[in-house]
């Protein structure tokens, strides 16, 4: 009897040990695989401690009013990136650092089209802590991001969220749009403008720029200019003082279901429908054509002339946002590009086109 009980107890204990091992192994593997999820506060603190000395609070004084925003140091020469709307028309720019240093800054260059500006402070290199850029093309929806800035005039606030969408198009400070924009649910408020959106590696992946909100608060969604575009604009502003964008000279939109049905296209067909060509623009001198219809006196549709741009220089174009993003990141005025076009739904042609300047 005792032997039977002892055997049962040993069996039970052995089974419990196996269960403990099985149950215990899974959390250990999970913790290593997604440590940033199980212990986010530690990572957030580390990123903040590393990045916050690079982030600055900016006061911009104009003739009639003042503005405030954020920015971040990008090199040891004192160059700081911020939003164009933070320093536009400013007569005096004052920069505050985390360690209490306050200094004046000069405007190096401003690009209203992308809402990016570069200012410069005159400080020794050992007082500057540049923050590295990451590759914004590597972002994925759901990825954790952090925003550091000075919302509502409050010093160095950290908020967290995720990349909630990619490849958004927003209106810049001109009549042209900004493509490839990052959408985030990290709280972005007035005063965060120009501050960095950072990944968990401590790299800048975007510049916080706009919010959509009825109350001008973080209850809406936030948008950040992607790091890859920001780097190109910043480098050009530092070298040349201004940014010139290439210009195609068309108006267009996405392929609709009606067009798919009209041209007997697959219902997942993507591209940019050329709806209008600007007079005297670069496209007007090319073989590209805008939408035209031929109808009978009774209004019956007889013929449709329609070009759909499907690629530029071999890079697929699925939307107007794709086209805008490619032009801003990869082309310059006077450069010749090749547009791949589906014409009238029946033939694919390549059209060389020399870009103009905005």
Strands 66-73 and 102-111: unpaired
What is d(CA 191, CA 176) in angstroms, rounded to the nearest whole number? 24
Could you tell me which of 173, 170, 194, 169 has the C-alpha nearest to residue 113?
Answer: 173
Query: What pLDDT, on the 0 to 100 scale, is given for residue 293?
Result: 75
CA-wise closest residue to 82 among 64, 109, 61: 109
Q: Is the pLDDT of residue 5 over 50?
A: no
> Which two structure tokens, joined as six digits, stand for 9?
């107890």
Can you tell me whether residue 136 is helix, strand or coil?
A: helix
Residue with the bigger pLDDT between 22 and 185: it is 185
| 8 pLDDT above the threshold of 60 | no
Question: Which segments of 226-338 does DSSP mark as H helices, in order?
Answer: 227-240, 257-262, 320-330
The overall average pLDDT reported for the chain is 85
Residue reference for tokens 């000279």: 249
- The Cα–Cα gap between 231 and 252 comes to 28
Compute the distance between CA of residue 14 and CA of residue 12 in angstroms, rounded to an integer.
Answer: 5
Using the predicted structure, report yes or no on whether residue 305 has a pLDDT greater than 90: no
- Per-residue confidence at 3, pLDDT binned at 50, 70, 90? very low
Residue 79 known to be catalytic: no
Choose, from 59, 70, 85, 218, the residue flagged as catalytic: 85
Among 111, 115, 307, 322, which one carries the catalytic annotation? 115
Question: Which one of 70, 160, 187, 193 is the catalytic residue?
Answer: 193
Judge whether 50 counts as a catalytic residue.
Answer: no
What is the mean pLDDT of the segment spanning 31-59?
A: 76
First to last CA, the chain: 95
| 4: pLDDT strictly greater than 60 | no
Dump pLDDT digits (tens) for 225-280: 999 999 999 999 999 999 999 999 999 999 999 999 989 999 999 999 999 999 98
Q: Which of 164, 163, 168, 218 is nearest to 190 (CA)?
A: 218
Matching fold, domains 49-127 and 246-357: no
Annotated domain spans of the chain: 49-127, 136-240, 246-357
The residue ranges of DSSP E strands in 172-323, in sequence order, are: 177-184, 196-198, 204-212, 221-226, 246-247, 250-254, 272-277, 292-295, 301-305, 307-312, 315-316
Domain 49-127 architecture = Beta Barrel (2.40)
DSSP H/E element including 149? strand 144-149
Is CATH 2.30.42.10 the right assignment for the domain spanning 246-357?
yes
pLDDT at residue 203 is higher than 50: yes
* Local structure of 224: helix, strand or coil: strand
Range from 17-26, 88-97, 306-315 carrying the lowest mean pLDDT: 17-26
Distance between CA atoms of residues 261 and 267, nearest Å: 8
pLDDT class of 135 with cuts at 50, 70, 90:
very high
Q: Look at residue 14 in the predicted model and tell me its pLDDT.
A: 39
Contacts of 38 (CB under 8 A, 6+ apart): 30, 31
Q: What is the DSSP letter of 125?
A: G
pLDDT of residue 192: 85
Cα 329 to Cα 22: distance, rounded to the nearest angstrom: 51
Contacts of 111 (CB under 8 A, 6+ apart): 84, 117, 233, 237, 242, 243
Check whether 9 has a pLDDT greater than 60: no
Instruction: Report the alpha-carbon distance of residue 319 to residue 315 in Å, rounded.
Output: 12
Average pLDDT over residues 126-154: 91
Any catalytic annotation for residue 39?
no
**Angstrom distance (rounded) from CA 300 to CA 182:** 44
Evaluate if residue 318 carries a pLDDT over 80: yes
For residue 256, the 8-state DSSP code is P
pLDDT at 70: 95
Instruction: Tell whether the torsion through CA atoms of 256, 262, 267 and 272 is positive or negative.
Output: negative
pLDDT score of 189 more than 70: yes
| CATH number for the segment(s) 136-240 | 2.40.10.10
Q: What is the mean pLDDT of residues 103-108?
A: 97
Cα 310–chain centre separation: 23
Structure tokens at 287: 């073989």
Residue 60 token pair: 């911009």
How far are the Cα atoms of 85, 338, 358 from residue 279, in angstroms, in the given order?
31, 20, 14
């Amino acid at each position: 009897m005792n032997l039977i009980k002892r055997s049962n107890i040993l069996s039970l204990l052995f089974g419990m040990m196996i269960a403990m091992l099985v149950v215990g192994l899974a959390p250990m593997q999970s913790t290593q695989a997604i440590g940033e999820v199980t212990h986010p506060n530690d990572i957030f603190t580390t990123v903040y401690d590393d990045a916050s000395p690079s982030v600055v609070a900016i006061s911009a004084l104009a003739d009639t009013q003042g503005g405030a925003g954020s920015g971040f140091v990008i090199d040891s020469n004192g160059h700081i990136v911020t939003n164009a709307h933070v320093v536009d028309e400013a007569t005096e720019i004052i920069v505050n650092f985390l360690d209490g240093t306050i200094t004046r800054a000069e405007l190096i260059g401003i690009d209203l089209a992308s809402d990016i500006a570069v200012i410069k402070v005159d400080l020794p290199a050992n007082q500057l802590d540049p923050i590295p850029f990451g590759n914004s093309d590597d972002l994925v929806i759901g990825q954790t991001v952090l925003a550091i800035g000075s919302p509502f005039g409050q010093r160095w606030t950290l908020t967290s969220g995720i990349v909630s969408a990619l490849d958004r198009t927003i209106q810049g400070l001109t009549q042209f749009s900004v493509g490839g924009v990052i959408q985030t649910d990290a709280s972005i408020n007035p005063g965060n403008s120009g501050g960095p959106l950072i990944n968990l590696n401590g790299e800048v992946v975007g510049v916080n720029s706009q919010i959509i909100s009825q109350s001008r608060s973080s209850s809406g969604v936030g948008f950040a200019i992607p790091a890859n575009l920001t780097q190109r604009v910043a480098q050009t502003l530092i070298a040349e003082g201004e940014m010139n964008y290439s210009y195609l000279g068309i108006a267009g939109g996405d392929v609709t279901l009606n067009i798919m049905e009209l041209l007997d296209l697959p219902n997942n067909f993507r591209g940019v429908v050329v709806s209008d060509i600007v007079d005297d623009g670069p496209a007007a001198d090319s073989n590209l054509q805008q939408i035209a219809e031929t109808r009978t006196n009774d209004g019956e549709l007889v013929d449709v002339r329609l070009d759909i741009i499907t690629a530029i220089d071999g890079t697929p174009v699925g939307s107007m946002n794709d086209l805008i993003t490619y032009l801003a990141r990869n082309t310059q005025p006077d450069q010749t590009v090749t547009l791949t076009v589906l014409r009238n739904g029946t033939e694919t042609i390549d059209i060389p086109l020399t870009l103009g300047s905005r």
